[in-house]
Amino acid sequence: MSATAPLPDAQAAERLLTAGAVRARCEIVYRAAERGETRHFRLVPERLGAIAERVAAVTRRRHPDLDVPFHSRWRHFATGGIDRAALVAPGADPAETARARLDLAFVSVLLDAGAGSAWTYREAETGMVLSRSEGLGVASLRAMQAGLFSGDPAVPWRADAAALAALTAAALGQTFQHGSDNELAGLDGRVALLRRLGQAIAGMPEIFGSPARPGNLYDHWLARRGRLGAPDMLGLVLRALGPIWPGRLSLGGVPLGDCGRHGAVPSDGLVPFHKLSQWLVYSLVEPLQETGFHITRLDGLTGLAEYRNGGLLLDGGALAPRDPALWSRRLDAFSEEVVEWRALTVALLDRLAPLVRASLGKTEAEFPLLRLLEGGTWAAGRDIAAERRHDGGPPLNIVSDGTLF
């Protein structure tokens, strides 16, 4: 095969299942926007400096010592200053504790695709009423504590294939306090995703063990404990869990997961994002580090193409719709409009990062993307949304099935 010949579809698909492909394809869309060739949004680069100062100010307010933790699901488990992570697998040895925490990260992240603006969760143990990502995080931890994801009533702190594959909307809805007056958006989609997760891991005992559970990745990666690359972790997650994503694009029989199409990308037009999968890998880092894993190349992953980061850039004016009607239209999550917005978000986060670091007096090594997002862009996106809209929702009206945003 010549150097210029196109790759076979299956091989091309494998390349799209990488963080490098996310960054490279989003950059293509960004370059088109620089040339004024994008159909839906234009860049307003002079606004990026003001957004960087907003992010730096939010970071200083939330973390005055600038000791910013990583952006991961574990931050939500600490909502209200409560160390709920300490509740996981009490009395277990370090290895089993790590497995339980990986189990929790998997199910909690996959359930974290936007709760809708009306849903809340009342935590019986504390009386706290929580919403959005914090509510979903705490609700998932309490569900696991109650054994919802375990096939063994004597061992509640686990998520095994059999229990996941048998999960019902009624059971999850009851645990998450879903009802006609407290609707959790996309409940059926969330349940279907976890059921497919159970089915997928059951078919891969070489990775997820027997009985299968996501937490057995601890054992799978143990041989690489001294040096495990975050992009390699993502690659395994994407390849193993590709079949769980519903109705998504595929190439050469390989499911592409969180991937859309954009006219600015030559040839196949494909633009991968892998938002939830990257968020999952971010959330696996700490449980592994706590047991001695050395995780490398964290900035080999990308910023997350979701509505808080993207909303910050839209509300902050660094992106502007070419058609003002876009603000009010209902948009499919894989429409070209949303794909363009998400691609520009990823590319602009890479450009925002050095501006924020300069304002904070931090180097790239001291302040990787995981800290920028946590410090950071996600919180600033939430703040500016609350300033602009009474419900604090995203600036665009995206139709969600509970498995993406």
Q: Give me the sign of the Cα torsion angle 333, 339, 345, 350.
A: positive
Provide the 3-class DSSP secondary structure of residue 371. helix
* DSSP codes, 223-244: GGTT-EEHHHHHHHHHHHHGGG
Q: Give me the sign of the Cα torsion angle 51, 56, 59, 60.
A: negative
The reported pLDDT for the residue numbered 113 is 73
Dist CA 263 CA 285 (whole Å): 35
Dist CA 107 CA 10 (whole Å): 28
Rounded to whole angstroms, the maximal C-alpha distance in the chain is 65
The reported pLDDT for the residue numbered 3 is 46
- Residue 27, class by beta-carbon neighbours within 10 Å (0-12 exposed, 13-18 middle, 19+ buried)? middle
Dist CA 137 CA 258 (whole Å): 21
Side-chain half-sphere CA neighbours of 358 within 13 A: 8
Provide the 3-class DSSP secondary structure of residue 373. helix
DSSP state of 182: B
Count Cβ neighbours within 10 Å for each residue of 289-314 and write b for 16 or more, e otherwise. eeeebebeebbbbbbbbbbbbbbbbb
The reported pLDDT for the residue numbered 401 is 61
DSSP state of 36: T
The reported pLDDT for the residue numbered 405 is 57
Contact of 69 with 76, CB cutoff 8 Å: no
- Tens digits of per-residue pLDDT, 215-273? 999 999 998 887 899 999 999 999 998 889 877 888 888 889 899 999 999 989 999 99
Of 17, 22, 18, whose CA–CA distance to 345 is shortest? 22
Q: For the chain, which residues score pLDDT lower than 50?
A: 1-3
Of 160, 171, 176, whose CA–CA distance to 100 is shortest? 160
Dist CA 138 CA 115 (whole Å): 13
What are 69's two structure tokens? 């933790």
The reported pLDDT for the residue numbered 143 is 97
Of 151, 19, 127, whose CA–CA distance to 79 is shortest? 127
